[in-house]
Amino acid sequence: MRQIESRRSVRKYQDKKVEKEKILQMLESARLAPSGSNTQPWNFIIVESEGTKEKLTRADHNQRWMLSAPLFLVCIADIRSRIEHGGEISLDEYSPDPELKQIIRDTAIAIEHILLEAENLGLSTCWTAWFQQEDVRPVLNIPKDKYVCGIITVGYGDEVPERRPRKCIEEIIRYEQW
């Protein structure tokens, strides 16, 4: 529970590369996440190139703070894990497919595993998603039948943000019904 309590969204990083072993350990944690019907719809692209990070930052509402992170993990949900037909599928923020909600849910679980494992490893992260699919996909040649759930900035934090207020437990619990 320590990692859950101490995790923060960090937007300022030290100029220090993330070790390959730590990157793989975060992704191994994601790989072990649960998913509906064990579909495991997630895929991850490791981005360390300054040029590619610049393009992703522009696509992600030009949040310039992102560039201080030495590593981006682009988290992608694959609807093909739930749809067997080989026909053309194009996903975006307005797609009505119920399967899209399922792959986003499952990939979000894997992303949270990454965030908590990063905290465990002494790394800092921020999950960003202020982009449109049509803007972020071309940067990494991601097919239209894949859905980018987020870009996680990863590195050694150069700030310790204050703890943000949380609702008290009584505000979020209902018993038996609403």
Q: pLDDT tens digit string along 38-78?
A: 999 999 999 999 999 999 999 999 999 999 999 999 999 99
Domain 13-160 -> CATH class: alpha beta
Q: Where are the domains of the chain?
A: 13-160
Question: pLDDT tens, 22-43?
Answer: 999 999 999 999 999 999 999 9
Give the total residue count for the chain.
178
How far apart, in whole angstroms, are the C-alpha atoms of residue 156 and residue 118?
10
Helix, strand, coil in percent for the chain, rounding step 5? 40, 20, 40
How far apart, in whole angstroms, are the C-alpha atoms of residue 114 and residue 148?
16
pLDDT bucket at 1, cuts 50 / 70 / 90: low
The pLDDT score that the predictor gives to residue 61 is 98
Question: pLDDT tens, 95-127?
Answer: 888 899 999 999 999 999 999 999 999 999 999
Question: pLDDT tens, 146-170?
Answer: 999 999 999 999 998 898 899 999 9
pTM of the model: 0.93
The pLDDT score that the predictor gives to residue 118 is 97
pLDDT bucket at 83, cuts 50 / 70 / 90: confident
Give the chain's end-to-end CA distance (angstroms, integer): 28
